[in-house]
Amino acid sequence: MTRLIVWRHGNTDWNAERRVQGQTDVPLNDLGQQQAVDAAELLARLGPAAIVSSDLRRAADTASALAALTGLAVHSDPRLRERYFGPWQGLTMAEVAQTRPAEHARWTAGEPVIGEDIETLDDLGKRVADGLQAAAEKVPHGATVVVATHGAAARQGIGHLLGWPAEQLRTLRALQNCHWVELTHDPERGWQIGAYNVGPFTQRPVPPPV
């Protein structure tokens, strides 16, 4: 069966500040770069046949750490970008809660539509799932592909692939930086989740990624 590894990027300064990144092109910080190297050493042992990444730097640079070990090229796909958060981008979550309390309450409740031109969960899930499916089709049946993406994007894209309702998807904790999800696919069973939030180190729980 084909194996799909959905890998969240390493830490950034905006992650550390609990600042909303969305599609702002924020680079990895020193910690994030080291996380990518540490995770890549484990992922290389899975023998990936292809690497695909969001075109945002924090994901692309994370993927590059694995490419350096495997000799594989990194294929870029903008469908794997993080959720677009519109006017929230650049604000801390505390600032969002203070200045946009109604929208923040809808986000906290997991409502699919927040407003303010923020991408809906349905649109996000469909977009990222299309990118994940395309990545899986880059390798022969039975091979492994690694996809470097983002926290909210990963969760919604995976949920869409699995056909999970929103209520079930919300039971998944946020992916930690440079941790990943393992999915497998075969013609009889379709997509199945094999492992979740796997990584080379233990971190304290973090707020939902944005």
Supply the pLDDT for residue 209: 54
The answer to whether 11 is a known ligand-binding residue is: yes
The answer to whether 107 is a known ligand-binding residue is: no
Mean pLDDT of the chain: 94
The answer to whether the CB of 73 falls within 8 A of the CB of 49 is no
Estimate the crossing angle of helix 57-70 against helix 30-43, to 10 degrees. 40
Rounded-to-10 torsion of CA 74, 80, 85, 90: -10
Mean pLDDT of all residues in 40-69:
98
Which tens digits make up the pLDDT trace of 143-160?
Answer: 999 999 999 999 999 999
Supply the pLDDT for residue 208: 53
Q: Who wins on pLDDT, 169 or 127?
A: 127
**Catalytic residue flag (residue 9):** yes
From CA 139, how far away is CA 137, in angstroms rounded? 5
From CA 154, how far away is CA 161, in angstroms rounded? 11
The answer to whether 13 is a known ligand-binding residue is: yes
Please say if the pLDDT value at position 170 is more than 70. Answer: yes
* Residue with tokens 């094999």, as numbered in its chain: 194
Q: How confident is the model at residue 1 (pLDDT cuts 50, 70, 90)?
A: confident
Supply the pLDDT for residue 202: 47
pTM score of the predicted model:
0.94
Supply the pLDDT for residue 66: 98
Of the chain, the percentage scoring pLDDT greater than 90 comes to 88
Q: How confident is the model at residue 133 (pLDDT cuts 50, 70, 90)?
A: very high
DSSP state of 187: T
Which tens digits make up the pLDDT trace of 178-205?
Answer: 999 999 998 888 999 999 999 986 444 4
Residue 37: strand, helix, or coil: helix
The answer to whether 10 is a known ligand-binding residue is: yes
From CA 168, how far away is CA 171, in angstroms rounded? 6
- Spatial strand order in the sheet of 50-53: 74-76, 50-53, 144-149, 2-8, 180-186, 190-198
**Catalytic residue flag (residue 82):** yes
The answer to whether 15 is a known ligand-binding residue is: yes
User: Which of the following is catalytic: 17, 41, 82, 167?
Assistant: 82
Whole-angstrom distance between the N-terminal and C-terminal Cα of the chain? 32
Amino acid, single-letter form, for residue 40: A
Structure tokens that stand for 48 in this block: 């990936």
Which tens digits make up the pLDDT trace of 85-130?
Answer: 999 999 999 999 999 999 999 999 999 999 889 999 999 999 999 9
The answer to whether 12 is a known ligand-binding residue is: yes
CATH 3.90.580.10 fits 2-198, yes or no: no
E-strand spans in the chain?
2-8, 50-53, 74-76, 144-149, 180-186, 190-198
User: Which of the following is catalytic: 9, 104, 150, 179?
Assistant: 9
Q: How confident is the model at residue 210 (pLDDT cuts 50, 70, 90)?
A: low
